[in-house]
Amino acid sequence: MKSLEYRLENGQNVNGLLTVTDEELTARLLSEYLVKKGVIYENTGAFENNDTFVITLKKVEDEVPYQDVESNETGKPLIEYRVWNNDISQRRLITKSECSNLSEALPNLLLSKPLSDKSYKHMSLEYDEDRNVFIVYMGE
C-alpha cells in the first residue's frame, strides 16, 4: 500500500492522506484531471516526499462535472470512453467498459477504444472520484 496526498499549487491539502494500492496510485498519477466534491482539478505534477506520493492540482475554472450521469456502485473499475469536445454538452459517451479489477483496467486507460471500423486518438484521462469512474477522452 502507498500513501497519496492531493495538494493545490499553494500547498493546501485537498483530501488528507489516502492509502492506495500500487495500481490505484498508477491510475491516479496517469489521470490528467480529477473530479472531487463537484470540482474539477488539473494534475499539474507529482512527486514523492518521505514515502508519500503527492499530486499537485490546479482548479479548472471553466468546467463542471457531468450532471446527468449515474455513479458506479459496483466497486469494479468502470471506464467511460467519450469523444472530446470543448463544449461539455457535446462530449458524447461512445461506450463503457467494466473491468474485473484495476490491474485489468490500467492498459485500457491509455488506449483508444476502436469501434467498428473507426479509430480514435487518445486525448486525456480523467478520474471522477465522485462517481468512481475513469473517463478516457478521445479525438475523432
Would you say the C-alpha torsion 115, 35, 78, 15 has a positive or negative sign?
Answer: positive
Residue 105: closest CA among 123, 79, 139:
79
pTM of the full structure: 0.91
Pair 11, 50 in one domain:
yes
User: 55 and 108 share a domain?
Assistant: no
Which residues have C-beta within 8 Å of that of residue 49, sequence separation ≥ 6?
none
**What gap in Å lies between CA 140 and CA 131, rounded to an integer?**
26
Task: Say if residues 15 and 5 touch (Cβ distance below 8 Å).
Answer: yes
Choice among 14-28, 51-65, 118-132 with the minimum mean pLDDT: 118-132
Q: Of the candidates 59, 87, 102, which is a domain's last residue?
A: 59
Domain that holds residue 116: 78-139
Name the domain count of the chain.
2
What is the structure's pLDDT at 139?
86
50 and 89 inside one domain: no
Question: Are 49 and 82 contained in the same domain?
Answer: no
Whether 65 is covered by a domain: the verdict is no
> What is the reported pLDDT for 102?
92
Helix (H) or strand (E) holding 139: strand 133-139
**Cα–Cα dist 1/101, whole Å:** 16
The answer to whether residues 58 and 42 touch, using CB atoms and an 8 Å cutoff, is yes
**116 pLDDT tier (thresholds 50, 70, 90):** low
Q: Is residue 72 part of a domain?
A: no
